[in-house]
Structure 1
Amino acid sequence: MIPRPRSVAPPTWSADPYTHALHTGQGPLFLRRADGWLLPLDVERWCAAADAADLEVLRRCEGAVLDVGCGPGRLVAALGAQGRRVLGIDVSEAAVARTVRLGGQALRRSVFEPLPAEGRWGTALLIDGNVGIGGDPGALLDRMTQLLCPGGLLIVETVPGLDLDERVLVDVTDAHGAAGAPFPWARLGTPALLRRAERAGWRAVGQWAVGGRSFATLRSRRTKRTAEPPNSRAVSSSQRARKPSGDSPVTEP
């Protein structure tokens, strides 16, 4: 039996430099390790419309889609514009608010907290390095099994060109050295992801690279005798929250 997820999210992307970058739509912004190593974050791309690589990801989606760590919402907005059922989740209030401004449906929620339609999502997305959420890819893959319907699809963006399996403590910092609180993170190349996925009971069904980015798709092996249709109670992109709360999408005034 998969253990129940943690009810409290660890510190992560709600740091002030990240919030400021989302408000302006511009970097530079970095993930910084304790040894001073910096990973540039592509804020401008995250705040732009979905590009060709993103649209290829969305083309492969099945059923209702859960975008985990949706950021400023470009994928949620693009799927909604296609008339797809989609929900974004993110721990950053600024990210969720920006997603809603784009017309998307989003919740301020950790993936390890209770979520709508658990076990009924057709596809889950871990894009822009979000396989690193929580710093424990094994626990995150187990959580994805809980969220997806039997045989559901998980699309993961990986570190291109490297067999990397790194678990580190990082913070979000800007060019002036202002930083938020440290939090656990992970980085995986495709080979490492596939090894972990096999151990966690997933089946690899595809790999591709486009625009200098790399992706893999995994199929859940979870089955049950009477599976509910994956879209039966999924959140529609046309739904709007009546008021912001911990259990409701954040909406703009």
Structure 2
Amino acid sequence: MSLDAGAAAVTFGRGGDEPYHHALSTGGPLHLFEHGSAAGASTTPQRVPVHRFLAGADRTERRLLASTRGSVLDVGCGPGRMVAEARRRGRDALGVDVSPTSVRLAADRGIPVHLGSVFGPLPAEGSWDVLLLLDGNVGIGGDPSTLLHRCRDVASPAGLLVIETSPERGRLARYTAQVSTADGRPSDPFPWAEVGADALVSPARDAGWHRLREVRRRRRTFVVLGVGVRS
């Protein structure tokens, strides 16, 4: 996948009735479901934690960030809670997000967020010490392998990648998704994926990452990867 092709594919919650914009503006709720299943009920919609996006970094996230060093790039950062926390600690930090509403909310608080896709050109590529893929953002673009390769290119030679994984350890699913508000206003379809901690091993290794540790807190699982040797 070229950078331009990847950038065109990343449109989380955009289009249609713009439910992601609405949820960010009002505090939610928002649900994610497989395209075509909203009125078929074969796939249970997942609640998107918009309240978390709009809040500050929680205790688990603060501890996770404190266990790393150096500059931080938060991929799919939303309104920028992790960027704000990193900068509060005196670290260079930037968010990247495709949502204009997220970028505006961040800018209103003085948080630097780049409007665009991780698959497009990014500031300081190849120099970021810590990359974050929280809140299920390993699903961005619908192809975890491609995303992990891209993160490897963006990271510094000794970089870390922190991924929040699916609660189902063996889950590896790629599908076309939509999000909708509580009253059923949907977005346009977009590619998405879910990856559990065990299923992450192979695509991470193929992209030049190796597992360093795993952190579990309050039903959330985070996998910390380090730069390995490219195959």
* Pair 82,185 (structure 1): closer, same or farther in 2 beyond 3 Å: same
Contact 1:76 1:99 in 2 (8 A): no
Instruction: Note if 1:105 corresponds to 2:106.
Output: no
**Shift of residue 102 of structure 1?**
2.4
Name the stretch that deviates more: 196-205 or 181-190: 196-205
Name the stretch that deviates more: 51-60 or 105-114: 51-60
Q: In the alignment, which of 72, 75, 86 is matched to residue 65 of structure 1? A: 72
Q: Using structure 2 for the length normalisation, give the TM-score.
A: 0.90
Equivalence for 1:31 = 32
**Shift of residue 190 of structure 1?**
0.3
Aligned residue type for 1:159? S
Instruction: Note if 1:150 corresponds to 2:157.
Output: yes
**Shift of residue 199 of structure 1?**
2.3
Aligned residue type for 2:71? A
**Partner secondary structure for residue 214 of structure 2:** strand
Contact 2:98 2:117 in 1 (8 A): yes
Contact 1:62 1:153 in 2 (8 A): no
Aligned residue type for 1:31? L
Contact 2:138 2:163 in 1 (8 A): yes
Instruction: Note if 1:9 corresponds to 2:16.
Output: no
Partner Cα distance (1:53, 1:59) in 2: 10
**Partner secondary structure for residue 128 of structure 1:** coil
Aligned residue type for 2:30? L
Aligned residue type for 2:12? T
Contact 2:171 2:194 in 1 (8 A): yes
Partner Cα distance (1:14, 1:93) in 2: 10
Partner Cα distance (1:177, 1:161) in 2: 27
**Shift of residue 220 of structure 1?**
1.3
**Partner secondary structure for residue 191 of structure 1:** coil
Partner Cα distance (2:139, 2:129) in 1: 21
Partner Cα distance (1:19, 1:183) in 2: 15
Q: In the alignment, which of 193, 197, 205 is matched to residue 200 of structure 2? A: 193
**Partner secondary structure for residue 57 of structure 1:** helix
**Partner secondary structure for residue 197 of structure 1:** helix
Name the stretch that deviates more: 134-143 or 155-164: 155-164
**Partner secondary structure for residue 4 of structure 2:** coil
Partner Cα distance (1:74, 1:126) in 2: 13
Structure 1 residue ranges, 4+ long, deviating more than 6 angstroms after superposition: none
Partner Cα distance (1:6, 1:62) in 2: 31
- Structure 1 unaligned residues grouped into runs of 5+: 224-253
Q: In the alignment, which of 191, 197, 202 is matched to residue 184 of structure 1? A: 191
Partner Cα distance (1:29, 1:56) in 2: 27
Instruction: Note if 1:169 corresponds to 2:167.
Output: no
Identical aligned pairs, as a percentage? 41
Contact 1:145 1:222 in 2 (8 A): no
Q: Using structure 1 for the length normalisation, give the TM-score.
A: 0.83
**Over aligned residue pairs, what C-alpha RMSD do you find?**
1.5
* Deviations 1:75-96, CA, capped at 9 Å, x for gaps: 1111111111000000000011
Aligned residue type for 2:50? V
**Partner secondary structure for residue 100 of structure 1:** helix
Partner Cα distance (2:129, 2:229) in 1: 13
**Shift of residue 35 of structure 1?**
2.1
* Deviations 1:138-186, CA, capped at 9 Å, x for gaps: 0000000110011210000001243100001001101111011000000
- Structure 2 unaligned residues grouped into runs of 5+: none
**Partner secondary structure for residue 73 of structure 2:** strand
The total of aligned residue pairs comes to: 220
Equivalence for 1:205 = 212
Contact 1:31 1:40 in 2 (8 A): yes
Contact 1:151 1:222 in 2 (8 A): no
* Pair 149,185 (structure 1): closer, same or farther in 2 beyond 3 Å: same
Name the stretch that deviates more: 83-92 or 7-16: 7-16
Q: In the alignment, which of 10, 18, 21 is matched to residue 20 of structure 2? A: 18
